[in-house]
Amino acid sequence: MSTLPPSAVLSAVSLTAGAPAASGRTHDDVARANPGRGAAPAQRGAVPQAAPVATPLPRALRGILSLDDFEAAARRRLPRPIFGYVAGAAENNQSRDDNRAAFAEHGFAPRVLVDVSARDTSVELFSRRYAAPFGLAPMGISALSAYRGDIALARAAHAAGVVAIMSGSSLIPLEDVHAAAPGTWFQAYLPGDPARIDALVERVARAGYETLVLTVDIPVSANRENNVRTGFSTPLRPSLRLAWDGLTHPRWLAGTFLRTLVRHGMPHFENSFATRGAPILSANVLRDFSARDHLNWAHVARIRATWKGQLVIKGIMNPADAAVARRHGVDGVIVSNHGGRQLDGTVSPLRVLPDVAHEAGDMVVMMDSGIRRGSDVLKALALGARYVFVGRPMNYAAAVGGEAGVAHGIRLLRDEVDRNMAMLGVLSCEEVNRRLLRAMGPAR
């Protein structure tokens, strides 16, 4: 445990964001998501499934009935800068808003009188069977929203039998997360510097990760005016405003930030490169975003030649890029506009998903951005995705309830997928296709 100088403790008061104190429940106490009805037998490399545990929900989660409910609860718990960082997007939020609007333009045409008693929500990705067709998107700085947030997210996903992707912009060493939740995927933000790329990729491989996700839609930092307005920066800079935001959210101050300081020392960006990065709180240190505008397909070819596991590219929005990725031997792509946090005005991934899937060939096509309901998951599957990822709501879930909160969020979404499959008249995710969809007018 690091010994903290008085200035660090004072800085802790300066940085304050409201997530609840941990409940003290162990990993084994967290309720697992139920396997799907008629779930397929385990295959090689399948994620182990635990029997469901009837555990009363913590008080903070008892009123949470959907993923959207987590947002309001997290707003009350998190200080303004931290909540604003998670909730915000780029410039006028056009892309973030279109991510949701696109789903409302598709409706279902269900089949009836189908025996759906043996329905199965599981899917196979890269020779592994997962319990549901959705997982957890990479979320940077999640350990600032919730105590040991990266581990809470990864462990909840592992227990539920779904994928979690750890963010390269994280505050816990990637080795610790993989040890806590084997099978987690790692997402990297890479500079166009071959030496730095090689060192990070080698570190990820040594830690035991089998799937490497390259996020490619950040050649330069986005114009996130919302961060400026709410007082968020990376690293955070101590100020009276920041101190007040922390002091007015004491549950987070004691349960997340001060608890982290006492047990683990000042959080740093641990995984941007092969070596430790900047601290999360500093008056004069700048986070290194250098050379990302140099990244190109030659770097992808270099990584493909050395990385022995699955290689996934996240941030594909143009079918032409999917075709290039396929030619470079990429195993999968994630159609994504980064939750609307990069180029504002980029269309929803749902709108380009069918065209990307057409060009992808035998690559695994996945999608994120805007998923909030089981119906959203199934619409994405119908339009060509094999798997989808959920971001902000699971970050809020961790802030509200830690690992138990994330487990509850996964369970809610899994139940929606299962229920909707029954009402659609389909027995498996593979049966979900465009014949089940019809165009709808704008939401009213």
Question: Could you give the CA distance from residue 130 to residue 163 in angstroms, rounded to a whole number?
Answer: 7
- CB atoms near residue 275 (< 10 Å): 11
85 has binding-site annotation: yes
Q: Over 299-319, what HEC string results?
A: HHHHHHHHCCCEEEEEEECCH
Q: Is 419 helix (H, G, I), strand (E, B) or coil?
A: helix
Q: Which residue has the tokens 């004069």?
A: 284
368 has binding-site annotation: yes
What single-letter DSSP state applies at residue 120? B
95 has binding-site annotation: no
* CA distance from start to end of the chain: 55
Taking the CA atoms of residue 354, residue 355, residue 361 and residue 366 in that order, the dihedral angle to the nearest 10 degrees is -50
Q: Exposure pattern of 359-374 as b/e (b: 16+ CB <10 Å)?
A: bbeebbbbbbbbbbbb
Left (φ > 0), alpha (ψ -120 to 50) or beta: where does 329 sit? left
Question: Could you give the CA distance from residue 301 to residue 154 in angstroms, rounded to a whole number?
Answer: 29
**Host H or E run for residue 396:** helix 392-424
369 has binding-site annotation: yes
391 has binding-site annotation: yes
338 has binding-site annotation: yes
Q: Is 63 helix (H, G, I), strand (E, B) or coil?
A: coil
224 has binding-site annotation: yes
- CB neighbours of 28 closer than 8 A, spacing ≥ 6? none
77 has binding-site annotation: no
272 has binding-site annotation: no
Helix axis angle for 349-360 and 94-104, nearest 10°, is: 80
- CB neighbours of 50 closer than 8 A, spacing ≥ 6? 32, 159
The first and second tokens of residue 27, run together, are 């990993």
Respond yes or no: is residue 294 known to be catalytic.
Answer: no
- Residue 381 has φ and ψ, to the nearest 5°, of -60, -40
Pairing verdict, β 128-130 and 310-316: unpaired
209 has binding-site annotation: no
Q: Which residue has the tokens 């180029």?
A: 343
**Host H or E run for residue 438:** strand 437-439
372 has binding-site annotation: yes
328 has binding-site annotation: no
Q: Which residue has the tokens 């979690």?
A: 164
Question: Could you give the CA distance from residue 160 to residue 30 in angstroms, rounded to a whole number?
Answer: 10
- CB neighbours of 240 closer than 8 A, spacing ≥ 6? none
Q: Is 86 helix (H, G, I), strand (E, B) or coil?
A: helix
138 has binding-site annotation: yes
187 has binding-site annotation: yes
Among 249, 338, 358, 408, which one carries the catalytic annotation? 338
Q: Which residues are catalytic?
A: 338
**Binding-site annotation, residues for FMN:** 138-140, 187, 215, 314, 336, 368-372, 391-392
**Binding-site annotation, residues for glyoxylate:** 85, 167, 189, 224, 338, 341
**Binding-site annotation, residues:** 85, 138-140, 167, 187, 189, 215, 224, 314, 336, 338, 341, 368-372, 391-392
